[in-house]
Amino acid sequence: MIDTLRFKAVGSEEIYKAIKNKGIERLIWDYEKEEQKHVLVYQLVPVPNRDYKIYVQASNYEHFFVEFSLPKILFGTNMFMIYPKQFTTTLIEVYRLVRNFLNFPVEPIDNWIVQRVDYSYVWKFDNAMQALWILQNMAKFQYPRKDLTIRDTSVTINGTSERMIFYLKHDEYVDVTYKKLLKIQPRLAEFLSEESKNTLRFEIVHMKAKLNSIFGREVTYKEVLGEEYIINTLNTALKTFCNSNTLISMTWHEAVALIYSQLPSREAFNIFGFICMYYPFDMAQRDYNREILKLNCSPSTIYKYKEKLKELGVGILFTNPEFKSIDLNIPNSRVINTEDQVAGIAEAIRDLRIV
């Protein structure tokens, strides 16, 4: 439910020097003034018994920044989900590692200001084709005032202060991690490969500007890591993106039957025509149709049709009848792991790391 967190904490000259000592310094060259300028210093703090490091960075004495993935602290991978009950223990472990590394007093983690938070959810479907088909269907939706980037195994929604992505976790794991891990931990590599099959991961990244917009002020982890808040954030984003208050897949035949059963014939015909124009599966046809709509309909008319679909209870439109009634609501029975399974997964990963 949570992946990456980035914090800002009160710094000092001693903390800055501790980060700089045997660390890495980033510099830039100013061609106008013909001089080199300091940008920041950083360290990668190892996490014991994990192939993972915490990023600690500073650019002055006033503050320093800490960035890490909660699941990677606990599991060594972000393939699985951790839940609010594990948050506090994991954050305390991060605080202890950072404090011991700096070897100077650090303000309590309760006071650290959140600069970024990544929310996530992972569904595990019946087979790889089902996961791929759902991803491909998600590509036909839009998020207001955000750009969409479609690739073979991912759909990314880009904004300046908020970013979302759907991607096939198995493909990402095989491309990025599998071969390297196979050389040093073959049993763990195969275990993670098997667990990642048929999974679709959804992530939301909230940057500092987005958090300030939501809360109207700076926030600590206790305000952004509540279970109810996380679930509401994920579901709201899904509903907005899919233009549906019903996060269950629906075939076109079911959608048309629903529309005609609730509206007068003429109005139903107009709504039916809109979904045929706006949501075809073929990407080229979809882009062409939307350009035609954009040239011939006002934004308010398109918005009105979308709102009507939500009001009628039209679900996520999928074209393959084999994948009808697929529920994407969060929480979900198709989740990759439940809260009760977290301890067992952590133990299994520990055992598989033993050579």
For residues 122 and 238, membership in a common domain is answered with: yes
For residues 10 and 149, membership in a common domain is answered with: yes
What are the phi and psi torsion angles at 43 (to 5°)? Answer: -135, 155
For residues 84 and 129, membership in a common domain is answered with: yes
Distance CA 255, CA 250 (A): 6
3-state secondary structure of 120: strand
Q: Tell which residue, 205, 182, 199, has the closest CA to residue 69.
A: 205
Q: What is the pLDDT of residues 262-285, one digit of tens each?
A: 999 999 999 999 999 998 888 889
Task: Report the pLDDT value the prediction gives residue 321, as an integer from 0 to 100.
Answer: 64
Averaged pLDDT, 65-74: 97
For 152-210, strand residue ranges (E) read 154-158, 162-168, 199-207
Exposure string for 176-195, b = 16+ CB within 10 A, e = fewer: ebbeebeeebeebbebbbeb
Averaged pLDDT, 249-256: 89
Distance CA 178, CA 50 (A): 16
CB under 8 A, 24+ apart: contacts of 12-15: 12/61, 12/104, 13/61, 14/104, 15/58, 15/61, 15/64, 15/102, 15/104, 15/106
Evaluate if residue 261 carries a pLDDT over 70: yes
Which structural domain, as residue segments, surrounds residue 134?
A: 2-246+329-353
For residues 177 and 289, membership in a common domain is answered with: no
For residues 87 and 194, membership in a common domain is answered with: yes
For residues 314 and 258, membership in a common domain is answered with: yes
Query: In which band, very low, low, confident or very high, does the pLDDT at 243 lie, cut at 50, 70 and 90?
Result: very high
Query: In which band, very low, low, confident or very high, does the pLDDT at 226 lie, cut at 50, 70 and 90?
Result: very high
Distance CA 161, CA 156 (A): 14
Residue 93, CB-side half-sphere exposure with 13 Å CA sphere: 18
Averaged pLDDT, 202-228: 96
Averaged pLDDT, 97-112: 96
Evaluate if residue 298 carries a pLDDT over 90: yes
Evaluate if residue 222 carries a pLDDT over 90: yes
**What global pTM score does this model have?**
0.92
Evaluate if residue 216 carries a pLDDT over 70: yes
Distances (CA, A) of 54 to 67, 85, 110, 188, 206: 6, 21, 18, 22, 19
Q: Which residues, other chains included, contact 267 with Cβ-Cβ below 8 Å and sequence gap of 6+?
A: none
Burial class of residue 91, CB neighbours in 10 A (0-12, 13-18, 19+): buried
For residues 230 and 171, membership in a common domain is answered with: yes
Identity of the amino acid at 230: I
Identity of the amino acid at 213: S
3-state secondary structure of 82: coil
Query: In which band, very low, low, confident or very high, does the pLDDT at 236 lie, cut at 50, 70 and 90?
Result: very high
Tokens of 112: 């650290």
Evaluate if residue 324 carries a pLDDT over 80: no
Rounded to the nearest integer, the mean pLDDT of the chain is 93
For residues 25 and 71, membership in a common domain is answered with: yes
Averaged pLDDT, 208-232: 96
Tokens of 236: 């709201």
For residues 277 and 203, membership in a common domain is answered with: no
Evaluate if residue 320 carries a pLDDT over 80: no
For residues 284 and 344, membership in a common domain is answered with: no
Total domains in the chain come to 2
For residues 221 and 253, membership in a common domain is answered with: no
Q: Tell which residue, 20, 8, 223, 210, has the closest CA to residue 109.
A: 8
Strand-pair category, 316-317 with 249-250 = parallel
Among the listed ranges 37-41, 86-90, 158-162, 331-335, which one has the minimum average pLDDT value?
Answer: 37-41
Distance CA 20, CA 4 (A): 24
Task: Report the pLDDT value the prediction gives residue 272, as an integer from 0 to 100.
Answer: 93
Q: What is the pLDDT of residues 106-154, one digit of tens each?
A: 999 999 999 999 999 999 999 999 999 899 888 889 888 889 999 999 9
For residues 44 and 116, membership in a common domain is answered with: yes
3-state secondary structure of 97: helix
